[in-house]
Amino acid sequence: MEDRLPAKRRIRSPPESISKYFDFDFSNFKLKENHQELPLWICSNGHIFLETSAPSYLQITDFLIAIAEPISRPEHIHEYILTRYSLYAAVSVKLETEDIVSTLQRYSKTLEIPSSVIDFININTAQYGKAKLVLKQNRYFIESPYENVISDLLNIESVRKGKEAASDVNMEIQESHVEDVKEEMIRIMDGENPEDIEKVESCCVANEYIPQIRQDCHKENFPLIEEYDFIKDDKSPRLEIDLKPSTHIRSYQEKSLSKMFSNGRARSGVIVLPCGSGKTLVGITAICTVKKRAVILCTSGVAVDQWKRQLEMWSTIDPALIACFTSQNKDCTIDVAKACVVISTYSMMGYGGKRSAESASVYEKISRVDWGLLVMDEVQVVPADMFRRVIFDVKSHCKLGLTATLVREDNRIEDLNFLIGPKLYEANWLDMQAQGFIAKVQCIEVWCPMTAEFFQEYLNAKPRKKLLLYVANPNKLMTCQYLVKKHEAMGDKIIIFSDNLYIMELYSQHLKLPMIKGNVGHSERSRILFNFENTNACNTILISKVGDNSIDLPGANVIIQISSHFGSRRQEAQRLGRILRPKINSMDNDFNAYFYSLVSQDTQEMWYADKRQQFLIDQGYAYKVVSLTEEIQRQNDLMFYKKEDQKTLLEKLLQARDMDDDIQVDPDDITPEAMSKKSADAFSSNTSTTTSRSYQIQAHSRNRLFADRYKKFKKNK
Amino acid sequence: MSLLTSSFKDYKELQLAYSSPAVVLGIFRHISLKAQHFLMIFLFLDRMDEKSLVKFASSATEADEVLQELKSLMLYTCTGGNISMHAEVQKQLKAMLNGPILCTLRTKSKPDKRKPTIEDIYKITQNNWKNLIDYLIGLRERVSVSILRLLLHSGLVYQNGQEFPKTSECFRFLLKPQSIQIEFLLKHILAASSDKVKTAVFLFNLSLAELGRDYSTKDTNRGIIEDLTEIGLLFKCKQRSKRYYVAPPVIGLLTDSSKPIPLTEKFLTVETNFRIYAYTQSDLHIVLLSYFLKLEYRLPGLVVGFLTRDSVCDAFKEGLNANQIVDFLKNHSNSVPQNVSEQLYLWEKERNRISEYESYMLEEFADISLYRSTLNFAQGSGAYLWDNFDRRVIILHKSKAEPVLKYLQSLDRIVS
């Protein structure tokens, strides 16, 4: 079974030759009479176009977000796609097959909707609810009230193996569970006659097979329901926690949580909200709802502190019940017998090597008990293999993933469907911006021409050096300094992002700016951030990629990005997120925050910049391209203004040994070559998730490299 | 006015044409507002000192520009520093003040027995015009020989054996509004005609014609009437009929500057993510869009496409420029996001920034003096493209390299 509808080309050949221009021609469908009031165009390959001007736009958006993935949501027309995961998410929030089909039919502009779409919905929703995956006393069971479902499932290799590996439990007949399970199933199948459910089959499967089982069952169209009836769960201790009366939940936060907690149970899944829109509060509210032991995982020690502070700020929890398990705090005291909240980092929990004695003991305690809720912040980092371990060692009834950017440059974002659960909610950035929940940001791409000397070296340099040369392009350094000056004069708070540490130090020395990077200690970091937030002495800071996520700087309103991680869409969006917290004048129509991305012209950086921006463009952001060359030339007090200084810099760069910066192997390390190969693959299979995006990436790779042409030019000689 | 100036090389002909009130009106309506203003000043003056003319303009350059414009149309004469308006034009303009200019086309004395309804005229002429456009966008196989001749003459197609491929002028033509297209064709009909004065008077008078009224074919030669009928600018009940009717888009086209420009349909939605949605079923629209869009979906009444670097560069190769594409998008949508229009200009700029030459490289010069003298020679011969002293490299235009190579060989001989 494919994840998406196969992209059949030219299904019927319409009579006119004009259809040769199109990949997809559905012009022979008939329109409804009142089609102008209806919002949807449904295409037979599962793509759906939504007109935002239609009167029913708001209702239908909620519905589409539940059943389909948004591809792009600019101002006028949104594009969605139906996938099996999106449909799985739909049925798991209790939308039934007929509801989905009839709603689409009602809102479609065409009289009929393509039969392939109806079939796709049927196939991917029909079997839902036949089998269930439950956690009981630290073991997982697959249960079904239907005869033969379990035996069918045992045909799946991973289920069989999982059962064999758990044979110690399966030896005992699970009579004790049967009654519970039966009752549960009756409730889930509400409407079904309880008499029909005579027997509940159950089998225990070993933990390590769980993700594979989830995935395989999904493929066989037996998605396993995972719902946690936390109200009835009296085996886990109750956590005393509530939101403070003064805590106010915004409408979209409530909406996203309602997807998680409808019908009084908690279901696992991912909630996607823009940075700065209060994801933390969503996580805290979820903990307050479940009221059981909870683990919160985040990406850094700074983020752990932020979560702790927020928990104390928004909820009534006794601070003694919060344990922070971090590399600075390996021996934290946790009493897992009682209900508590553990906050830790992915690297701490997912660490595969030998642990210190204190750390190992804490870890052992955590992995011994069932947790009510596992909250995963910035969940887009989880699929990396090291993080998979976390999910299996921390056994939880329910998992909540939080993220702003559900994109990765590898295809592994889909793994989240098995590791955590379907996407439950995804907010629309432009709508939230219009309502003043997030800042109105102007994105600006500044083209900085390479100086002749740097470009000459660039053409002949090895890849690593190339990177250094386009990042250190003196015109770029000057542009950055110019922008800092300009915005400081306006009283703005500026963050300069650089992935490249060498260049960062250069800036720091020349401009006397504090910097935050990997080896800056926790207390020093906190001091710099405090000064930036609270004093006028420090209005600009330099941050390396350690600050991409989770550093919360509500005061910052300008970002200048001088070097970045290749074509990572996620990084671009995360960085933008640093200035998305609503600003005081956020109801004005004017922009109140600025995101500058400085790009060296004619270099690979242009290619990467196009790719990086794709996610934000899909959210409706428009990048304005500007060139500040003339303004820069009028300044004569900028660093590297003088040709000699530029020359010295160049020599220094060329002599520098290979930069040992902190770039690790990352899924986002995609080079143009790898990317073109990838998109070729995507086109041939037609079903790969990258298809639609790679289209767009191609569409925007506006700057086929000058250097390529130069090579051609050279050959011609 | 472009229709006239480019067609009349001979000023005498132009003078003759000015005896027609329709021509004068047409000219007057189409010159710039400043030039109109000048003509009005002249209207009741016999002559004026060239220097005092500057008083009526905001600057000397402006006065100069206006005079240039009027001069190109032979609207004034200058003798001994005194300027006076073309007498015939002056007379016509004065007459215009007394009442409307009437159409001088001849009518038939007997009423038309098979008088068509105005709807019929609309429908049939529109259909004929569409046929022409369909031919130009490749949806129709053929047009008559005489129309093909017109298209060849106007540079919309060119001949390649038995084939008549479209030129880049044709792509630009197609993106323009209908009124400009018609004017363009009329200009070429005029330019190709044997009796230019007669044709000009006829064409300008068509613009003054009355909708639904029949006129006699005697005013001009048959060929022109047939051509205009075939492309839907005139209507005839039967081919042999001696009377014709004028198509609505032609009426007022040349003589009425206040004629409201027909609202162009705002059928496009341009998004910041470079997607373009076209609410249209028209094949013409689709073909036009295909010039610069990557088309993806065709739904009943909606076409979805993508503006990509490749699709736009293809359009550039066909001879369109960014301005024309942006204009087209602006004319047919409520707004074009700034990032999209800027990107189009950037793509164009990027394209124009690089030029490729076939070249020839000289290197490994034996010594500096050889390098220097070769460089001198190359620069003198026009073959020089680029050199680098540090690396002792000279790059030459391949096509012009020959003399430099000969020069080097001759030096070789001397050395050895």
Question: Does residue A402 sit in the same domain as residue A445?
Answer: no
Contact assignment for B299 to A29 by CB distance below 8 Å: yes
- Cα gap B133→B151, rounded to integer Å: 11
A244 CB-near residues (< 8 Å, 6+ apart): A314, A315, A316
Among residues A669, A691, A710, the one where a domain terminates is: A669
Residue A11: per-residue pLDDT: 36
Statement to judge: residues A412 and A473 lie in one domain:
no
pLDDT of A700 over the 70 cut: no
The residue among A391, A369, A372, A370 whose CA lies nearest residue A381 is A391
Q: Which residue of chain A comes nearest to B281, CA vs CA?
A: A27
Per-residue pLDDT of B107-119, as tens digits, reads 887 888 888 898 9
Residue A165 lies in a domain: yes
Instruction: Say if the Cβ atoms of A77 and B342 lie within 8 Å.
Output: no
Same domain, A206 and A303: no
**A577 shares a domain with A651:** yes
Average of per-residue pLDDT across B263-287: 88
Q: Give the domain-ending residue among A73, A92, A125.
A: A125
A651 and A514, same structural domain?
Answer: yes
Residue A702 lies in a domain: no
Q: Do residue A460 and residue A593 come from a single domain?
A: yes
Which residues in chain A touch residue B339, judged by CB atoms under 8 angstroms apart?
622-625
| Rounded mean pLDDT, A69-83 | 92
Select the residue of A19, A35, A74 nearest B272 (Cβ to Cβ).
A74
Among A79, A625, A709, the residue with its CB nearest the CB of B346 is: A625
Of these ranges, A105-109, A132-136, A600-604, B220-224, the one predicted with the greatest mean pLDDT is A105-109
- Look up the domain containing A329 and give its range: 251-427
Domain check: are A360 and A453 in the same one? Answer: no
Which of A13, A21, A45, A442 should we substitute to test contact with B (largest number of B Cβ atoms within 10 Å)? Answer: A21
Residues of B in contact with A713 (CB under 8 A): 356, 359
Contacts of A47 in chain B (CB under 8 A): 297
Whether residue A345 contacts residue A298, with contact meaning beta carbons closer than 8 Å, is answered with yes
The predicted-structure confidence for A512-556, as pLDDT tens digits, reads as follows 899 988 788 778 888 898 899 888 889 999 998 887 776 778 889
Distance between B300 CA and the closest CA of chain A, angstroms: 4
Instruction: Tell me the shortest Cα–Cα distance from B394 to chain A, in angstroms.
Output: 11
The model's pLDDT over A150-162, given as tens digits with 9 standing for 90+, comes to 888 888 888 888 8
Q: Pick the residue with more confidence: A392 or B172?
A: B172
Least confident of A110-124, A467-481, A687-701, B90-104: A687-701
In a domain? residue A612: yes
Same domain assignment for residues A110 and A190: no
A615 phi/psi in degrees, rounded to 5? -60, -45
Statement to judge: residues A142 and A121 lie in one domain: no
- Domain end among A371, A392, A427: A427
Closest-CA residue of chain A to B301: A27
d(CA A590, CA A594) in angstroms, rounded, equals 11
- For the entire predicted model, the pTM comes to 0.76
Helices (H), B214-282: 222-230
CA–chain centroid gap for B36, Å, is: 23
Q: In this structure, what DSSP letter does residue B51 have?
A: G
Share of chain A above pLDDT 70, in %: 83
Whether residue A81 sits in one domain with residue A43: yes
Greater confidence (B335 vs B35) lies with: B335
Return the CA Rg of chain B. 29
Region B338-366: what's the mean pLDDT?
84
Indicate whether A382 belongs to any domain. Answer: yes
CATH number of the domain where residue A606 is located:
3.40.50.300
Nearest-CA neighbor of A426 among A256, A668, A285?
A256
Number of domains into which chain A is organized? 4
Q: Which helix (H) or strand (E) holds A427?
A: none
ipTM of the complex: 0.75
Residue A258 domain-assigned?
yes
pLDDT in tens, A441-451: 999 999 999 99
pLDDT of A358 = 85
Report pLDDT digits (tens) over A591-633: 889 999 999 988 999 889 988 998 899 998 988 888 888 888 8
Examine the domain organization and report whether A373 and A506 are in the same domain.
no
Closest CA to A574 of A431, A380, A308, A708: A380
A528 and A659 part of one domain:
yes
The residues on B that touch A, with CB distances below 8 Å, are 139, 269, 271-275, 277, 281, 283, 286-287, 290, 294-304, 306-310, 337-339, 342-343, 346-347, 350, 354, 356-361, 395
Q: What is the pLDDT of residue A104?
A: 95
Residues of A in contact with B395 (CB under 8 A): 717
pLDDT digits (tens, 9 = 90+) for B150-180: 999 999 999 888 888 888 888 889 888 888 8
Q: Kindly identify which residue of chain B lies nearest to residue A602, measuring between CA atoms.
A: B350
Work out the mean pLDDT of chain B and round it to a whole number. Answer: 84
Query: Given pLDDT bands bounded at 50, 70 and 90, which one contains residue A89?
Result: confident
Residue B302 has pLDDT above 90, yes or no: yes
Q: Which amino acid is at B141?
A: E
Q: How many CB atoms are located within 10 Å of the residue B134 CB?
A: 16
Burial of residue B255, with CB atoms counted within 10 A of its CB: 0-12 exposed, 13-18 middle, 19 or more buried: buried
Which chain A residues have a beta carbon less than 8 Å from that of B281?
27
Q: What is the pLDDT of residues B307-316, one digit of tens each?
A: 998 899 988 8
A14: exposed, middle or buried (C-beta count within 10 Å: 0-12, 13-18, 19+)? middle
In a domain, A33, yes or no: yes
* Of the partner residues B139, B277, B300, the one whose CB lies closest to the CB of residue A77: B277
pLDDT of residue B416: 44
State residue B171's pLDDT score: 85
Domains of chain B: 2-96 (1.10.10), 118-246 (no CATH), 268-351 (no CATH), 359-410 (3.30.70.2610)
Q: Does residue A652 lie within any of the structural domains?
A: yes
Q: How far is A414 from chain B (nearest CA, A)?
A: 24
Residue A637 placed within a domain: yes
